[in-house]
Structure 1
Amino acid sequence: MRAGTQRMQAAVWHGARDVRIAEVGVPTPRPGEVLVEVAYCGICGSDLHEYADGPHAIPVAEPHPGSGATAPLVLGHEFCGTVAALGAAVTGLAIGDRVAVEPNYRCGTCPRCRAGEYNICRHFGFAGLMGNGGMAEYAAIPAYMAHRLPEAVSLEQAALFEPASVALHALRRAGAPPETMAVVGLGPVGLLTVRLAAERKARRIIAVDVSPVRLERAAGLGATDLIDAGREEAAGERIRELTGGEGVDVAFEAVGSEISLGTCLAATRRGGRVVLVGLAPKASLDTFALVNNEQSIVASVGYRDTYPELIRLVAEQGLDLTPVVTSTIGLDALITHGFEALMDGPGNQVKILVDPAAHRREAPLLPSPADRTEILT
């Protein structure tokens, strides 16, 4: 991990259950890079997997081709902040610009990149997983990752653009905007899928989860119907009942399990579509039923060209993504009140933001609504 002479705090992954809040050097931006003073960094499910039993995506033996990095490295790919320094040959950005970070590495030269599909680049990866990321006071990133923010977009909103981009790309992969849809799994991406579908005026949005807290949040974000999968033995059949026996146009699988995929297929109408967003290692299918119903299954990975639309929706149409945020913590609280709190299962926490500079202030930057906790240590 290259670094300058100034020091900062960072969450450095060394191995499973070995993430250290350490003092390291502030990175120096190389040519084509910018140094971002990080305002917020969200905790993602992939961070939890790396912490719990990684490495999964983190390079440990061979450097990732997009970053040149190997572990130990700084976690965090859902981040935003303010440009603090510019590397050589950077244009279009200035020190002091507030930016949202689109953390995708891309080579720009492989066939998929040349086709504009950089989210499936041959050397695809994320800053914060395959290279140093945003769970630190500063992060050096390729300049192409930085999207300048208008004044109407707060940094707290910008901290949610990465998971919102996953949701937006999944909605695009669904094809024509569906009139009826189901979202199975109400983690941050599932909840943001509900919110963006409501923004797109979907007529019926059926939200499915085992957590009453998350179901309640889905209702506040625009879900028209709620199904508690912990109480309903056959959630797919219940969705069909709610749609007069027809089934929904599109179902989004946002859990990553064979059971939830089965729910989505059972809930989807003939000729409908299931969009895979969750990461299930394996699943078996009733291909006879799939063919006879002429259903289709499409996968959705990452995102591309989503940040400009999200910036526009927030700045011009007042889209509010922040209801998914349930707490803001400092780096010193990352393990106990961040990773461990989220791994305890579906409780009151949904999206936790990390404020890397919290330890330098006596008071938090964010307001504290009734349903949010502030743990700034």
Structure 2
Amino acid sequence: MKALRWHGPRDLRLVDLVDSALQPGEVRVRVAYCGICGSDLHEYVDGPHAIPVDCAHPISGRRAPLTLGHEFCGTVVESAALEIRVGARVAIEPEYRCGTCDYCRQGQYNRCISMGFVGLMGDGALAETVVVPAYTVHDLPDEVRFDQAAVLEPAAVALHAVRTSGLRPGDACAVFGMGPVGLLTVAMLRQCGAGEIIAVDVQAGRLGLAGAMGASKIVDASREDSASAVFGATSGKGAAIAFEVAGLQATIDSTLACLRKGGEAVLVGLMGKAQIDVFDIVNRELRLTTSVGYRDVFPPLIAWTAKGLIDPSVIVTRKVTLTQAVPQGFEALISDKDQVKVLVAPNGEDVR
């Protein structure tokens, strides 16, 4: 099979690999679509960040070089798990879990002490086929298209962040950063009963998508002060909850500044060290919440998509083949801010 392998920064190689034999509890999936994630871009530009290089990951047993890709779906072509049938259309929840640590036993598998992701800590789906643990597999109803299913993974990040927050029906919310997860956070807030939803970014195209995803107000932070705009949209009260999904100091500052007293900031974006005004946070009795990965959210996402309540594929801006993945996928996402979510079709499915 052909696979796109990470060997180092700016070093992705399209290679031919021999399919490995399945171990008990594993499933081989023919990949329909695999999305390129911001995490993949970070690994491509200046990794490794999450990719194990010196030591193999304790669950996958893999280290670099490895195949990227953790947002994917496809068809089961081989199964060594009794509960998974060959021919099933499936979406993959790509979180590794040990199943034995305290967190796993409590059902908090996204906090597993050995947590990792297929396609970052093990071989992923920028390949014609991929082998995954059976516990990652979710059946797809006929009503869910593959291009929708490939975007369920970032939708899962968004829904888990919303569920982790203290959202109550009618709460005014702000979302800073209209990348894929930020846009999907807007959609999840709308689905979960938020009131005013203010979307903040500096790209007009992405703000337009935010309106299509359910934002009631869009704010171009390159033209106006975003925190002031949030207060204006909430009759001077401020947001009850604000989601930081960009991973930038400036957006962290604005996320905190736009909150009402007693409000909550949910940190989803990834970055290194940041500065915060602790006096201000304490004085306004703000809450800081963080969200990582997801748990127990794929079933509702699949059901909502099947019923037409959400459509994750709205954020897809391009579909490419595996041979086009680097120039028209990775490089395009870096240089063209109008690109939001690029799907790769490793087996040449519909790339219109």
Contact 2:240 2:264 in 1 (8 A): yes
Match of 2:24 among 11, 26, 31: 31
Larger CA deviation: 174-183 vs 154-163: 174-183
Give, in whole Å, the separation in 1 of the partners of 2:12 and 2:296: 32
**1:199 CA displacement:** 1.7
**Correspondence 1:281 to 2:272:** yes
The answer for the alignment partner of 2:340 in structure 1 is: 350
Contact 1:40 1:79 in 2 (8 A): yes
CA RMSD of aligned residues (A): 1.1
Q: Note the 1:215-294 alignment, pairs <5 A.
A: 215-232=207-224, 234-294=225-285
Give, in whole Å, the separation in 2 of the partners of 1:319 and 1:262: 31
Cα deviations by residue, 1:74-108 (Å, 9 ceiling, x for unpaired): 10000110000012xx1211000011000000001
**1:197 CA displacement:** 1.3
The answer for the alignment partner of 2:187 in structure 1 is: 195
Q: Note the 1:75-154 alignment, pairs <5 A.
A: 75-87=68-80, 90-154=81-145
Match of 1:335 among 323, 326, 342: 326
**1:150 CA displacement:** 1.4
Matched AA of 2:17: V
Segments of 4+ in structure 1 off by > 3 A? none
**Correspondence 1:48 to 2:41:** yes
Cα deviations by residue, 1:151-197 (Å, 9 ceiling, x for unpaired): 12121111111000000000001123352100000000000011111
Question: Secondary structure at 1:322's aligned position in 2?
Answer: helix
The answer for the alignment partner of 2:200 in structure 1 is: 208
The answer for the alignment partner of 1:186 in structure 2 is: 178
Give, in whole Å, the separation in 2 of the partners of 1:211 and 1:28: 46
Question: Secondary structure at 1:25's aligned position in 2?
Answer: coil
**Correspondence 1:365 to 2:350:** yes
Q: Percent identity?
A: 50
Give, in whole Å, the separation in 2 of the partners of 1:311 and 1:211: 29
Contact 1:27 1:138 in 2 (8 A): no
Cα deviations by residue, 1:280-322 (Å, 9 ceiling, x for unpaired): 2111111111111111010000000110111111123542111
Q: Note the 1:151-190 alignment, pairs <5 A.
A: 151-177=142-168, 179-190=171-182
The answer for the alignment partner of 1:3 in structure 2 is: none
**1:27 CA displacement:** 3.3
Give, in whole Å, the separation in 2 of the partners of 1:153 and 1:30: 29
Question: Secondary structure at 2:17's aligned position in 1?
Answer: strand
Give, in whole Å, the separation in 1 of the partners of 2:310 and 2:347: 27
Cα deviations by residue, 1:244-272 (Å, 9 ceiling, x for unpaired): 21101100000001110110111111111
Give, in whole Å, the separation in 1 of the partners of 2:309 and 2:275: 42
Matched AA of 1:29: L
Give, in whole Å, the separation in 2 of the partners of 1:119 and 1:62: 21
Match of 1:12 among 2, 5, 21: 5
Contact 1:29 1:141 in 2 (8 A): no
Matched AA of 2:184: L
Give, in whole Å, the separation in 2 of the partners of 1:27 and 1:329: 26
Give, in whole Å, the separation in 2 of the partners of 1:202 and 1:238: 18
Matched AA of 1:76: G
Give, in whole Å, the separation in 2 of the partners of 1:266 and 1:238: 11
Length, aligned pairs only: 351
Give, in whole Å, the separation in 1 of the partners of 2:139 and 2:168: 28
Question: Secondary structure at 2:262's aligned position in 1?
Answer: strand
Contact 1:28 1:35 in 2 (8 A): no
Contact 2:34 2:344 in 1 (8 A): yes
Give, in whole Å, the separation in 1 of the partners of 2:333 and 2:28: 29
**Structure 1 runs not aligned, ≥5 long:** 1-7, 359-363, 367-373
Question: Secondary structure at 1:230's aligned position in 2?
Answer: coil
Matched AA of 1:365: D
Larger CA deviation: 25-34 vs 251-260: 25-34
Give, in whole Å, the separation in 2 of the partners of 1:176 and 1:337: 38
Contact 2:167 2:241 in 1 (8 A): no
The answer for the alignment partner of 1:315 in structure 2 is: 306
Larger CA deviation: 307-316 vs 182-191: 307-316
